[in-house]
Homo-oligomer: A and B are copies of this chain.
Amino acid sequence: MHIPATLVRGGTSKCWLFHQVHVPADRGELARMLVAAYGAADPVELDGVGGATPTTSKAAIVSASPAPGVDIDYLFAQVGIGDATVEWTSNCGNCATGVALYAVAKGMVPIAGDRTRVVMRNTNTGAVLEGIVDTTGGVVQHFGRQTVPGTRAGGVAVDLTFRDPAGGTTGALLPTGQAAQKLPVHDAEPVLVSMVDAGAPVVLVDADGAGRGGSETLDQVRADVPWLRAVRHAAAPLMGLVEPGHAPGDAVPKVGLVGPPVPYTTTLGEQVAAEDYDVSVRMLSMNAPHPAIGLTSAVALAAAGLVKDSVVHGIAAARDDGWLRLGTPAGVVAVRCSDVRDGRPGRVTVRRAARLLADARIYVPDTGEQRAA
């Protein structure tokens, strides 16, 4: 097989995008195709186009959407690394910015002046997102100067808006009905957490009460991974994500520490002052410290910032202009809630950047061809 695909960078992720017409419709066949294309069975993804890290072993299947008011459907795939499987339960906001740029660049939506709106539906979760893509001069931009924390590389500006993100997985912004609560944790002290479902189900731990600051280095967060895993295991059944006594998968709920702003140095060596941001945050991604923050987690923090008595609101409320600035290891990510009704955000927006890296045809071994050769 020889399958067309486009490699995009969206924010701090790399993701191969496939048009749906070129790949199997059956989910099992599609997973086998992706595993073969990425070389996923191998821990270094040597025999394929995978990048062998969680942020570079991603894919999305893109298609024109049949849904009214939606331009593009995309199915997100987290492709295994040293593991011949594909995980289908999550979304990736970074990839969504790449999908928006791809949809414009490949002519799937008409260009509309200097800024082109792409309405996307993530078919894994049902979430609807809008990408506003820079099309200055009414033409496709392939390169740009917009940056995001975590890389100095420029890209095309894409503002990504999550529409009505609260309760997407569990039906409620606060799945336990509480803004914050003491969570008993196996083999550890109870911790004060807010369990929030917006963008993704997320457990936010009050760092201060847990003897941390929320602005730890990645190495310090790494040392806390077993403890933070225990926290998410304790939270998952309370959020209705698993039956009591069962362990959650690695993708959700997401978990992290939040704390007050303090001066710190980013992983790229830049100095950040306490007044440059509102909340410190250190998230895990697939049981490892996230180098910045997943966009769905950023949405959850923004939504939690609207909830009185949440662990985020206790540290900072959104500023007058609606933006909440998150201090992540890689730098400051600004996120904005708007269209707020009954304490739930109708829209949450993050400013991002994306770039097409390569258009390709991928040689995909399949069992039959391997046997024949």
Residues of B within 8 A of A41 (CB): 152-153
Given contacts A370-B143, A373-B143, contact A360 B363 (CB under 8 A): no
Q: Judge whether A357 and B49 touch: CB under 8 Å.
A: yes
Q: How many residues does chain A have at the interface if contact means C-beta atoms less than 8 Å apart?
A: 45
Cβ distance A126 to chain B, nearest Cβ, rounded Å: 29
Nearest CB of chain B from residue A2's CB, rounded to whole Å? 8
Stretch at the interface among A6-14, A110-118, A206-214: A6-14
Q: Shortest beta-carbon distance, A296 to chain B, in Å?
A: 19
Chain A residues numbered 95-154 whose CB sits less than 8 Å from any CB in chain B: 141-145, 150-154
Contact B47 A155 (CB under 8 A): yes
CA distance A195 to B53 in the complex (A): 38
Contacts of A48 in B (CB 8 A): 357
Are the C-beta atoms of B145 and A370 separated by less than 8 Å? yes
Which residue from B141, B153, B356 sits with its C-beta under 8 Å from A46? B153
In the bound assembly, the distance between CA atoms of A286 and B373 in angstroms comes to 35
CB-CB under 8 A for A143 and B365, given A46-B151, A357-B48, A358-B49: yes
For residue A39, CB closer than 8 A to chain B, the reply is yes
Query: Could you tell me the distance between the alpha carbons of A159 and B5 in the complex, rounded to whole angstroms?
Result: 31
The 8 Å CB contact of A14, one of B46, B359, B361, B362, is B46
User: When chains A and B are docked, how far (Å) is the Cα of A282 from the Cα of B359?
Assistant: 39
Interface membership of A156, Cβ < 8 A: yes
Q: How many copies does the complex hold?
A: 2
Chain B nearest CB, measured from A265 CB (Å): 16
A156 touches B51 (CB 8 A): no
Q: Closest CB of chain B to A55's CB: distance in Å?
A: 8
A44 CA to B268 CA in the complex, in Å?
12
Please name the residue on chain B nearest to A50 by beta carbon.
B51
Most B-side CB within 10 Å, residue of A7, A42, A46, A156: A46
Q: Which residue of B lies closest to A39 (CB)?
A: B153
Most interface-central of A53, A154, A361, A373 (chain B CB within 10 A): A373
CB distance from A45 to the nearest CB of B (A): 9
Q: Tell me if A52 counts as interface (CB < 8 A to partner B).
A: yes
Residues of B contacting A144 with CB < 8 Å? Answer: 370, 373
> What would 16 A/B residue contacts be, using CB atoms closer than 8 Å?
A12-B46, A14-B46, A39-B153, A46-B56, A47-B153, A49-B358, A141-B373, A143-B369, A144-B370, A154-B373, A156-B373, A355-B363, A358-B360, A358-B363, A359-B363, A360-B361
